A and B are shown apart, each in its own frame.
Chain A
Amino acid sequence: MSTHTISLLVENHSGALSRIAGLFSSRGYNISSLTVAETDDATVSRMTIIVSGEEEILEQIVKQLNRLIDVIKVIDFANEEAIEREMLLVIVDTSKSNRHEIIELGTIFGARIAAVAPTSITIEIMGTRRHLDDFVAMIKPYGIKEIVRSGTIALAQSRK
């Protein structure tokens, strides 16, 4: 099993997402992370997909993505250095524990406090998937009330 981060530039219209998702689902592959949004050109969206599977099959899927009419460009970061970022919002229970301890932990991870309430605080944090995973592991014992992750976005590292 290997994990690929794949970045796609696609035509910004209905149906594109479904065709792309279909290439993964028809092989029984689950997309573990997916982000989509318009680029500076309103007719083009950028999609970032993270998926795990057999190496040869992922290579095959990348070729098939290239073949879709709605897909303008495919970059497989298996072969290129990328800068990857993800955002996370988490509401942590503060009823039983020390609010300051949690805030301190957040500071170490470079997080910010997005909101404070009598028995909870909402923390926002940005970083790599790995960084966010580590943070979640640390914060979990305090009691997570709700959590959301944005999914990873990625760009190839510029050398110029």
Chain B
Amino acid sequence: MRKTGAQILIDALIREKVKVLFGYPGGVVIPIFDVLYDTKELTFILTRHEQAAAHAADGYARATGEVGVCLATSGPGATNLVTGIATAFLDSIPMVAITGQVASPLLGTDAFQEADIVGISRPITKHNYLVKTIDELPLLLKQAFHIARTGRPGPVLVDIPIDVSRAVLDDYHYPESASIRSYRPNVVGHTRQIKRAAEAINTAKKPLIFAGGGIILSGAHGKLLELAEKTNIPVTTTLMGLGGFPGTHPLFIGMPGMHGSKTANFALQECDLLISVGARFDDRVTGYVAKFAPNALIIHLDIDPAAISKIIKVDIPVVGDAKNILTSLNPMVKPRAADAWNDQIKEWRGGQLFTFTDSTTEIKPQQVISTLYRITGGEAIIATEVGQHQMWTAQYYVFDKPRRLLTSGGLGTMGFGMPAAMGAAMSHPGIPVIDIAGDGSIQMNIQELATLSLNRIPVKIVILNNSYLGMVRQWQELFYHKRYSSTCLRGGSLCQECVGTGECKKPYIPDFIDLARSYGIAAFRVETPDQVEQTLRDGLAVDGPALMEFIVAREENVFPMVPAGRPIDEILEGS
């Protein structure tokens, strides 16, 4: 078949079953947009910023498990993708980013809108390609999708010079397989290691399952549930693993780490066997590493050999796909009845995993999230931005199913949530898609209100407005003598007018309600606790996008909290 490079690209996307593409045009990608103009097989969404296109592709991938795809022009278009690519990289999200590039003869000449995006993105992609000729384009696209979705998933960037997009290939066939000799991810666990793991589980007195994002990436949630129920072993999941095990299950003890539950952290410190499945021992989880899980033998199931013993010395490594390994492991473990260890956990736990003091005079942010959980019955896809609201979401919205929480854990990217929610909503999940946002983060990609409005993408935005960069303010309160340097969003830069008076009379800028309305989006503001539930119901009932702003207690803190670098059983608790 005779096709141009641009036609080959779009044909490849369709053959890879890409249903939506997020992007932004520019000079060197006009040939590609020209093909898109007549393409019916996939939907193109024009964002208002390339960063949002990358996050939207990422959100789509997190919600569906399929590869998310974004497209940008050379130079500034490509560099605008960088934060989005890095966000996907740190959370191991499958994504293909397509960038246009200046014509090949001009490469390296500081040509107009030239940036070496392959060089720039090298440390934040699983792999990347500069396409040099149209002959190699079909195979490189096939390889890009293969690499993005297999093994430990991740973003792959394909940089296509305009002369390649314009060139014609006479005998185009899309390859059947990617065949990369140097890339054969190990998916089946080593039998002897699996046997050793089973023996350790069968003899442990105080075992604990510590599951992470790998459970969700692998689709291993069913097998994980089977293992836990057969053995009555309690389960904690990282932020990235939330939903990989039912949050309402009696064996679930919450997220561990800096803002995790006391029960999970105590259990980690006490257990004699830690069964880690698809988690990478991030420092937000381990705290002071030398004192992490001091009594435990450690089993680590992970698809990435480089993740093993990266942070923590592992006793029984099993490299492979979590679902595969658990499928072999589960029949080898003996049923175990709940015992003294389970009782101990129950005692630590008491009633609720997380508690806060409610108020009748001001809106507590935790209250908004609890109420949202209750009225959605847990049946929603929740995206978050980054900050206190993100942690409260992890604590008070209970996730029973995988792919329901979309959050930037590794890079912690403010501005991720709204575009990610937009991406997720484009997969038509049949349940509400909600972005829980701080007033700071939401402003990082606020321009996407236009994309939501014009395409009637039904994302609901919940802003918890404390008019602070709350998470940073919390650290300043606890560790920097309440010197709120540049964290109040009411005053100008370095404003100190409230010092001594404790009162700020300045209005909040922008007025989110007026702003949303100017974009044609329904908007609601709530200032009293009694209005919270009704407004959430009204907002969710809107056909199309809606924005709800809750004026919340300004200086509420996220507790429990383990100060950075401390052992995880040194827990600060709120009043």
Residues in chain A within 8 A of chain B (CB atoms): 10-11, 14-15, 18-19, 22, 26, 56, 59-60, 63-64, 66-72
Q: Cβ of B112: which chain A residues have Cβ within 8 Å of it?
A: none
What is the chain A residue whose CB lies nearest that of B129?
Answer: A15
Q: CA separation between A70 and B180, bound complex, in Å? A: 9
Q: CA separation between A59 and B305, bound complex, in Å? A: 11
**B122 touches which of A19, A66, A67 (Cβ 8 Å):** A19
**A60 touches which of B118, B182, B310 (Cβ 8 Å):** B310
Q: CA separation between A56 and B289, bound complex, in Å? A: 15
Within 8 A of A (CB), among B276-331: 304-306, 308-310
Q: CA separation between A19 and B119, bound complex, in Å? A: 9
B130 contacts A64, CB within 8 Å? Answer: no
B127 contacts A by Cβ under 8 Å = yes
Q: CA separation between A66 and B151, bound complex, in Å? A: 13
B130 contacts A66, CB within 8 Å? Answer: no
What is the chain A residue whose CB lies nearest that of B181?
Answer: A72
**B183 touches which of A15, A60, A69 (Cβ 8 Å):** A69
Q: CA separation between A7 and B201, bound complex, in Å? A: 39
B166, chain A: closest CB distance, angstroms: 22
B123 contacts A69, CB within 8 Å? Answer: no
B219, chain A: closest CB distance, angstroms: 22
Q: Cβ of B309: which chain A residues have Cβ within 8 Å of it?
A: 56, 59-60
**A63 touches which of B181, B183, B306 (Cβ 8 Å):** B306
B305 contacts A15, CB within 8 Å? Answer: no
Q: CA separation between A1 and B219, bound complex, in Å? A: 41
Q: CA separation between A56 and B305, bound complex, in Å? A: 14
A39, chain B: closest CB distance, angstroms: 14
A64 and B306 in contact (CB under 8 A), knowing A69-B147, A71-B182?
Answer: yes
Q: Cβ of A69: which chain B residues have Cβ within 8 Å of it?
A: 126-127, 147, 180, 182-183
Q: Cβ of A70: which chain B residues have Cβ within 8 Å of it?
A: 127, 182
Q: Cβ of B119: which chain A residues have Cβ within 8 Å of it?
A: 18
B128 contacts A by Cβ under 8 Å = yes
What is the chain B residue whose CB lies nearest that of A59?
Answer: B309
What is the chain B residue whose CB lies nearest that of A57?
Answer: B310
A15 and B118 in contact (CB under 8 A), knowing A67-B304, A67-B306, A70-B182?
Answer: yes
Q: CA separation between A22 and B305, bound complex, in Å? A: 19
**A72 touches which of B182, B304, B305 (Cβ 8 Å):** B182
Within 8 A of A (CB), among B89-103: none
Q: Cβ of A15: which chain B residues have Cβ within 8 Å of it?
A: 118, 122, 128, 130
A66 and B128 in contact (CB under 8 A), knowing A15-B118, A15-B122, A71-B182?
Answer: no
Q: Cβ of A14: which chain B residues have Cβ within 8 Å of it?
A: 130
Q: Cβ of B304: which chain A residues have Cβ within 8 Å of it?
A: 67
19 inter-chain pairs at a CB distance below 8 angstroms, sorted by A residue, are A11-B182, A14-B130, A15-B118, A15-B122, A18-B119, A22-B123, A56-B309, A59-B309, A60-B306, A60-B309, A60-B310, A63-B305, A64-B306, A66-B305, A68-B182, A70-B127, A70-B182, A71-B182, A72-B182
A67 contacts B305, CB within 8 Å? Answer: yes
The 10 closest A-B pairs by CB, nearest first: A63-B306, A72-B182, A69-B127, A64-B306, A69-B183, A67-B306, A63-B305, A22-B123, A19-B122, A71-B182
Q: Cβ of B127: which chain A residues have Cβ within 8 Å of it?
A: 69-70
Q: CA separation between A133 and B304, bound complex, in Å? A: 40
Q: CA separation between A15 and B128, bound complex, in Å? A: 9
B306 contacts A66, CB within 8 Å? Answer: yes
Q: Cβ of B122: which chain A residues have Cβ within 8 Å of it?
A: 15, 18-19, 22
